Amino acid sequence: MTRTQGDLAGLSRFIFRAPSWYASVAFSLLLAALMGIAAFDTQYLLGDAWQGIFFVGVPTVLASALTPYVDQRVGGQLTPNRASLLALFCELVVVVILTAAGALSVLTPLDQRFVFDTLIALLASVFAIRLLVVMAISRKSLLIASIPASIQTAAAGVLLFVYSGTLTYLEIGGPITRSFLARSNHAPEGISELVPQDFLLLGGVCVVYAVAVWLFLVVIDRPWQNSLGVSVLDFIRGFVGHIAEGTRELEDFFEQLGEEAIVPVTVLSFRRSGDHTEKARFVLPMIHPGPMGEIGGGNLPERVAQSTDGLGFPPHATAGHDFNLVTEREVDTVIDAANRAYESIEYDATASSSVQTTEGELSIIGQSFGGGALLVGSYSPAFADDVAYAVGLSAAARAQRDGLDSIMLVDAHNCNNGLSGPDLGHVTPGSRRSLSMIEAANTAGEELASATRDPLRLGVAWDRTEWQLQHGIGPLGVRVAVVETDGQRTAYVLVDGNNMVPGLRDRIVETITTHPQRVTFAADGRGKGETTLDASIDAAEVMTTDTHVVNTVEATNQIGSAISHDALVDLIVRLTEAAVDDLEPVEAGMNTEHATVTVFGNDRTETLASHANAMTSMGSALAGTFILAVIAVSVLIFFFA
């Protein structure tokens, strides 16, 4: 990913999963009780706590319970967990600022009137905060969103109205009405200072804050509408929903951006010579497994591996973030194309030995199977990231020869320094690196087209590993395939993760190509007199899947950044030995089909990331400006009122 895209993915560290609604409610009541003990004085500790719960906690509980119901009745999408968390946050704002105002009234000449003016402003602020969130999540108009957004402020206002005795100022109602709606004798000391004008003032300030919220959203949304034709509110809702609650709302947003693309899906299958059952399958759709988590094609490698009969190997294709699938549903289309390719494969019991070509910073290891060739390109030890789709397509076309109808060109994606440094290593059209890939693929194609074919044996092994997503390792763990032809053994190592820290790939390759493998064989050819000999791996390459399920933890959660290098190398050595022990005669074949899918589209990912990052950096400053302006207007209103 680019630095801009990395900054966008990095925003996920600020988002956490919303706690359950009952946890938020319980904490809000506890907080209200503590505030009551600190703020009220009824001469009884439990009485103070109860008044805190009643005057502060009850509006929060009512907002938690009623907001999702009311919001959904008017067509919104606010869930109970989000509504409770929002109400709790608003309560925290009130508690913190009101406590500070109380302290100022004690330490300065400011009197109790200042505290109640602060309370009025805080209740209006609570309305503004809730209005902003409801409009962002539920995407309703200002007037409609104001209904669920006003619940917490309205509940607190009603309690203040009743227990301040404000009804007595209005001189309306009889004794029964006054007994229920004028209960100043049951209220904490000081609340009786509230008068009808205070509630009119609250309504007026709420209107001012609502206009400010609407204007703020219009200002930050305009660039998105003009350049992308979508709303930033849809993006915010989807991003928070995905990270906080695992919803698919972000995919709905991406669908609005998507463009149709026709992509090749290449399959290399190995089946046992005896019973023709599949032993392993390499599947390479020219799709990027992003953008993040399980959104779009973020979990493409696991889905592809689960669709195979043999051990699945889904390496990374030559495609960047512009070729992210917009929804997970598109993965089914890719798998259908892979299955069509698999069903039409023609198998051959022979294959070429592997060849290695080097051009500039790029090295390619290639091997031909049936009517196609597997090419794996690595820029290690140089830093590199995604290879542009056009570059990979051009390189694969240059590798094709008579007898090589299908080319599976893999981006090993195995050496990167994260988002640091002036050059993130993207291989773009027209760059020196792109020309190196095209020329190296051309050379490999020439060698493989004329290479002799020999009987083929294959051994595989894999381990889920004890590492999890936070360690940079996805659910496919580590997989190893060892191909033997004419006495030469080539190991293909696949680690389920997003790129690799510098130097780790080179260490793995060096270790497994110099480490003797212990192999059993029958001395007399009939299964008797078994013995052992040492057999080394002659060539090897390490690939990563570029799965993006590891990137909800951290934007650059690369393999080797959070796990022991020694432990990973030892595991790969053991798996390579197991794959050598598993060697048996197989047949192989390759075929390519095409899938029509919806992807992000050219330059859309970078544009989206740029807008999101600009909104984050400039939006905070803009929000600060709006807040200062609203506070200034509020002060004037209170001064003249």
Give the residue from 201, 264, 595, 524 showing the smallest Cα distance to 397: 264
Distance CA 573, CA 568 (A): 9
> What range does the domain containing 69 cover?
15-244
pLDDT tens per residue across span 78-102: 888 888 888 998 988 888 887 887 7
The residue type of 248 is R
The DSSP H or E segment spanning 462 is strand 454-463
Phi, psi angle pair for 529, to nearest 5°: 65, 50
Residue 565 belongs to a domain:
yes
Using a 10 angstrom Cβ sphere, with 0-12 exposed, 13-18 middle and 19 or more buried, the burial of residue 582 is middle
Q: What is the pLDDT of residue 227?
A: 72
The DSSP H or E segment spanning 376 is strand 372-378
On whether both 349 and 488 belong to a single domain, the answer is yes
Single out the residue in 213, 244, 275 at which a domain terminates: 244
Q: What is the pLDDT of residue 173?
A: 47
Quick one: CA dihedral 208, 209, 215, 218, positive or negative?
Answer: negative
Residue 542 belongs to a domain:
yes
Distance CA 404, CA 370 (A): 8
On whether both 163 and 274 belong to a single domain, the answer is no
Q: What is the pLDDT of residue 633?
A: 74
**Tally of structural domains, the chain:** 2
Distance CA 562, CA 287 (A): 27
Q: What is the pTM of this model?
A: 0.75
587 close to 368: Cβ distance less than 8 angstroms = no
On whether both 331 and 386 belong to a single domain, the answer is yes
Residue reference for tokens 């190997």: 313
Residue 3 belongs to a domain:
no
On whether both 136 and 73 belong to a single domain, the answer is yes
Q: Any bridge partners for residue 350, and if so which?
A: 455
Residue reference for tokens 């290695």: 356
Residue 444 belongs to a domain:
yes
Q: What is the pLDDT of residue 37?
A: 74
* Cα diameter, the chain: 112
Residue 635 belongs to a domain:
no
156 half-sphere exposure, CB direction, 13 A CA radius: 30
On whether both 240 and 355 belong to a single domain, the answer is no
Residue 143 belongs to a domain:
yes
On whether both 191 and 149 belong to a single domain, the answer is yes
Give pLDDT < 70 ranges for the chain.
Answer: 1-18, 38-44, 47-48, 111-113, 164-196, 240-246, 418-424, 517-535, 552-555, 603-620, 622, 637-641
Q: What is the CA radius of gyration of the chain?
A: 32
Task: Give 170-175's long-range contacts (Cβ < 8 A, gap of 24+).
Answer: 170/196
Q: What is the pLDDT of residue 421?
A: 52
Q: What is the pLDDT of residue 380?
A: 94
On whether both 282 and 178 belong to a single domain, the answer is no
Using a 10 angstrom Cβ sphere, with 0-12 exposed, 13-18 middle and 19 or more buried, the burial of residue 19 is middle
No. of helices (H) and no. of strands (E), the chain: 20, 15
Q: What is the pLDDT of residue 171?
A: 53
Q: Dihedral (C-alpha) 251, 252, 256, 261: value to the nearest 10 degrees?
A: 40
Distance CA 352, CA 127 (A): 71
On whether both 386 and 480 belong to a single domain, the answer is yes
Tokens of 528: 């008797």
Single out the residue in 216, 244, 272 at which a domain terminates: 244
493 close to 544: Cβ distance less than 8 angstroms = no
On whether both 360 and 480 belong to a single domain, the answer is yes
On whether both 367 and 277 belong to a single domain, the answer is yes
The DSSP H or E segment spanning 357 is strand 355-359
Residue 640 belongs to a domain:
no
> What SS3 class is residue 594?
strand
On whether both 387 and 447 belong to a single domain, the answer is yes
Residue 610 belongs to a domain:
no
On whether both 362 and 234 belong to a single domain, the answer is no
> What SS3 class is residue 463?
strand
Q: What is the pLDDT of residue 177?
A: 44
Single out the residue in 182, 209, 244 at which a domain terminates: 244
Give the residue from 542, 547, 495 showing the smallest Cα distance to 301: 547
Residue reference for tokens 């060849």: 355
E-strand stretches of 149-277:
259-272
